[in-house]
């Protein structure tokens, strides 16, 4: 249908979702989109993204405290550290774009805390994925599920944002999530 209607390159993903072995996302197409009105400026987009990363970091820190096994605690700690790096790059992008001389704490004070990255709350995630929190493989798999959900959210949001520069920022963050997902996959393969 698409090829005959002017679409330049159309590929059929053979086997569809059943053949898809990488992480998938769940939920309706508007899941988490209420976090964005679509009218956000670049600065607003960065604030929302920062709050989502903050939610995920707190989730990993919380899991680090709950985990019993040392290696799992360590893994959650590393995952939390990665989110700190994500947050720092978002904060730096904010100061760069806004030109405002704002320190990190003041920026954090401006950020309204939202749902966990990906548009679901911590308990909703844990209920959905039912991971064995004593298993490194399960923990990485859980993190990959969340990152897939975040990637999905950012890509869906990108289509909703009006401002082209804001859209560009969302796409950059989505690409970072994609790279993070790939590195978690490698980590899982290395176990």
Partner 1 sequence: MKWMQFFTPAKSLDYDEAESYIAQHPGDQITILDVRQPSEYRQSHIPGATLIPLPTLDERLSELDPEKPTLVY
| Interface contacts to partner 1, rule CB under 8 A | 1-17, 19-29, 148-149, 151-152, 154-156, 158-159, 167, 171, 174-175, 178, 181-182
Please, which residue, 48 or 173, has the CB nearer to partner 1?
173
Q: What does the alpha-carbon distance between residue 50 and residue 42 come to, in Å, rounded to a whole number?
A: 12
**CB count in 10 Å sphere of residue 34:** 10
The minimum distance between CB 33 and partner 1, in angstroms, equals: 13
Q: CB 49 → partner 1: shortest distance, Å?
A: 15
The minimum distance between CB 32 and partner 1, in angstroms, equals: 12
We find the least distance from the C-beta atom of residue 154 to partner 1, in angstroms, to be 8
- Give the integer Cα–Cα distance in Å for 91 and 106: 11
State the residue for tokens 């003041």: 106
**Which residues partner with 120 through β-bridges?**
116
**Of 54 and 145, CB closest to partner 1:** 145
Q: Which residue shows structure tokens 């360590």?
A: 74
Nearer of residues 14 and 105 to partner 1, judged by Cβ: 14
Signed CA dihedral, 122, 93, 106, 83: sign only: positive
Closer to partner 1 by CB, 112 or 189: give it.
189
Residue 100 CB neighbour total at 10 angstroms: 12
């Amino acid at each position: 249908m698409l090829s005959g209607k002017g679409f330049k390159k159309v590929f059929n993903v053979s086997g569809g979702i059943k053949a898809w072995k990488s992480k998938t996302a769940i939920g309706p197409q508007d899941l988490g989109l209420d976090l964005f009105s679509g009218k956000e400026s670049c600065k607003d987009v960065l604030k929302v993204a920062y709050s989502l990363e903050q939610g995920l970091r707190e989730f990993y820190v919380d899991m680090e405290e709950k985990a019993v096994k040392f290696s799992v605690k360590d893994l959650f700690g590393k995952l939390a550290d990665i989110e700190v790096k994500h947050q720092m790059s978002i904060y730096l992008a904010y100061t760069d774009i806004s030109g405002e001389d704002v320190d990190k704490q003041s920026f954090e004070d401006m950020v309204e805390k939202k749902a966990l990255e990906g548009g679901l709350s911590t308990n909703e995630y844990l209920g959905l994925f039912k991971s064995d929190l004593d298993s490194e493989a399960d923990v990485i798999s859980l993190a990959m599920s969340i990152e897939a959900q975040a990637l999905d959210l950012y890509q869906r949001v990108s289509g909703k944002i009006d401002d082209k520069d804001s859209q560009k920022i969302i796409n950059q963050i989505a690409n970072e999530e994609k790279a993070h997902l790939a590195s978690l996959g490698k980590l899982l393969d290395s176990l």
